[in-house]
Structure formats: structure tokens, C-alpha cells
Amino acid sequence: MDIWHIRGGERLEGTVQIQGSKNACLPILAAAILAPQRCELLRVPALSDVENALKILRCLGCTACRREGTVYIDSSTLSACAIPHELMAEMRSSVIFMGALLARCGEARLSLPGGCRLGKRPIDLHLQALRALGARIEEEGSALICRAERLWGAVIELRFPSVGATENAMLAACGAKGETVIRNAAREPEILALQDFLRAMGAQIEGAGTAEIHIRGFRPRGCVQYKIPADRIAAATFACAAAGCGGDLTLQGLEPRQISALLHFLNAAGCDIINNTHTLRVRNDTRLTPIGPVVTAPYPGFPTDAQPLLMAAMLRASGRTLMRETIFEQRFRHVPELCRLGAQIRVNGDTAEILGVERLSGTVMQATDLRGGAAMILAALAAEGESVVLDEGHVRRGYEDFDRALEGIGAHILLEH
């Protein structure tokens, strides 16, 4: 159990170097097994989800080790195509190994994935995409057995632009004969990062960032070096921290345009936003004004992962903010916990109504999921007095040295393991 002790009320000021992206890193670690190659990945964040993916690689017979921010993988020794249940249960994105294993071995055995409990999180689109490429998939209880003597290029039309299904389809298509077209593909920056990495590995692929991706085969190149892009949700977290607590933060090493949907709202709420290509300054010294409605949507829309974070920032605004969640069914589980601080939030179906209060006061909260837990920490930083966030490891799944980064900008925070 992680116990976050927070004494709120401080203005946040200083510079934060943004970590490598968790969500870009995970599919790239899976992609590393596509061919017997060596990969060197730079700026890999030290997160429990990433460590879990490295364990999966080792369990498949690959060499995977970390030296500071760099991860070295040699997948030439891959010798298994099954992922044990304990590792699958740790995080949902392990399902991404399915497409990569099929492409490399023609077989993948795994179980239904775990991860944040945000309501129903089916994998039907992943299975539809792999079946379209010729995979036979049997479901036995919670076990999935996928086989394909040969994968064949196909047109895959996704009913919804799922990030994970798009990534799985891209990975499997690299092992297919002929051209694959993914229609209604997700357009998130992490898809573009995966395309860049696959190209470096030798894939002929284009279209990432648009709704149609074309994959035309794969010629392994031997050795690949790739730098993981910055984590846009970590950047969003610090931007919301400055907005909610008041302060002046400079974020470095990110691409601010990837969070322009969030920055638009922070600016409308009264924050000063100054951005360059790779730095972002967020300044706020006033009570935020209400905004919205904020409606989550696939990229380039407002990210569902930033919904709890922006909510935390708006708790002390001078009026009413509406937030509608359209991506996940149960993504307001942080709300009752935030209300313990004295926040006034009413949830009605997919919409939360936040009535700004003048002050929040310290309390004990229980982290419900990764971004919900981060939102509780942000809200506690904006509250008067002491708070405790009890956390079964959710926040550590996505934030590298979060306590130290916050301490470095003036927060009173202590993480007890």
C-alpha cells in the first residue's frame, strides 16, 4: 500500500521535466518482439506498468534490462508465446502482446487483461481486427488462444477508434502478407509513436495520425534505437496542478499541441498559457472561472485521461462546470472521494456537475484508479490542511517519482510505502 501524505495550500512554482509516455511505451515494448532484433529505447519511464511489460518480455524468453532511462531488449532469444495470468492481470495493455506474438510466432496464449476498473472494457475490437487478418481465436473461460499459420493483409473497419485495437491491428499486420488498411483508426499521438518505431524496425507503414493506416509489410533491420516521446497526460497533470493550486510552472520536453484541448479550457478558466514547440508555461494566480461543458472524445478531442485531472483543478472555481464522459462507463469513481474534501460534485449518468466551493479541507481518500488517484493528490494539494491518499499502487503505474517532482515545485508531499 502506498500512502500519500499531503499538506495542501502551497503555490506551485518551478520547472518540471516531463517523463516518457507510458501509453506510447507499452505498445512499443510489445512491438520489440516482432522480429529477432535488438532495440534500445531511451527515456523509458520507471513505472510499474513498464516493469510489468519487461517481465512479460523476459517470460517470453527475451532479454530485457534497464540502465537508468534506457531499456535494452534482445528478442532474438524469444522462445515462448504464452503470457501467464498473473502478468496479464496486472495491466490491461498487456493485451497488446497478442498482435505482436501472432505476427512473430503464429500463436499467442494469454488471458483476459486487467487494468484500471473504468467499467466494461471489452476487447471485441482487438479480436475482430486479428480475425480479419486470419487469426483463429478461441476463448476458454478467461483464456485466449490465438493461432494463424499465416496472417493475410485485410481491410479492418473499426466500429470505434479504439487505441488498443488500432495498435494490436498495426502489430499483427506487420506479420501479414499483403497490404492491411485500418479504417476508423485511433489518431492519438501514441499511434504515431508506434508507427515511428515500427518504421525504424523496418515496417512499411503510413497514415498514423489520420483515420486510415496502411501497412505493407516488414523487413527487419537488425538494431533499432528509439526515444519514447513525452507523456502528454503527465504534462496535463502538472498543468492542472498549476491551475488548481495556483502557481507558475514551466514544463519541459513535451509537445504542448498534443494537449491543446486541455490548454483551451485552462486558458478559458483564466490561466496564462505560454507555449513553445517543446515547453509550456502555465500560470494562475486567481480563482478559476467556470468553463465547459467539457466533453471527452477520441483524439484530438478532450482526453478521457485528463477528465479527473481537470475536475480536480475546477473544484474551487467561481461557478458551475459540466463535464461529460463519453469514452468509459465508470470514470467518475474519484468523485465521492473528491467530495470528502468538501467539493460539490453531482453525477447524473455520464455528466458531472462541479459547483465550485471557496475552500477544500484535508481528508482521507482512497485512490480508485490511476488518473483518479492523481486527481485526488492534486485536489489535496489545493486543500487546506493535511490529506492522506491511500493507494494500492495505482498512481505508481503511471507517474515516475511523482512525489519528488511535486516536492521540487513546492508541494508538501511524502510518499510512504
Closest approach, Cβ 238 to ligand UD1, in A, equals 17
287 exposure class (CB count in 10 Å sphere: 0-12, 13-18, 19+): middle
Between 6 and 375, CB nearer to ligand UD1: 375
Q: Please state, in angstroms and rounded to a whole number, the distance separating the CA atoms of residues 255 and 276.
A: 8
Residue nearest to ligand UD1 (CB): 164
Rule CB under 6 A: which residues touch ligand UD1? 23, 26, 92-93, 120-126, 160, 162-165, 186, 190, 304-305, 327-328
Q: Which residue has the cell 479504417?
A: 183
Closest approach, Cβ 180 to ligand UD1, in A, equals 17
Closest approach, Cβ 127 to ligand UD1, in A, equals 7
Closest approach, Cβ 361 to ligand UD1, in A, equals 30
Closest CA to 383 of 406, 412, 360: 360
Between 29 and 411, CB nearer to ligand UD1: 29
The CA-based diameter of the chain, rounded to the nearest angstrom, is: 64
Q: Which amino acid is at 130?
A: L
Between 342 and 398, CB nearer to ligand UD1: 398
Q: Which amino acid is at 46?
A: A
Between 54 and 409, CB nearer to ligand UD1: 54
Q: Please state, in angstroms and rounded to a whole number, the distance separating the CA atoms of residues 379 and 312.
A: 5
Coil, helix or strand for 194?
Answer: helix
Closest approach, Cβ 391 to ligand UD1, in A, equals 17
124-132 vs 163-173: helix crossing angle, rounded to 10: 20
Any alpha helices (H) in 75-179, and if so which ranges? Answer: 85-90, 97-105, 124-132, 163-173
Give catalytic residue positions. Answer: 116
Between 311 and 383, CB nearer to ligand UD1: 311
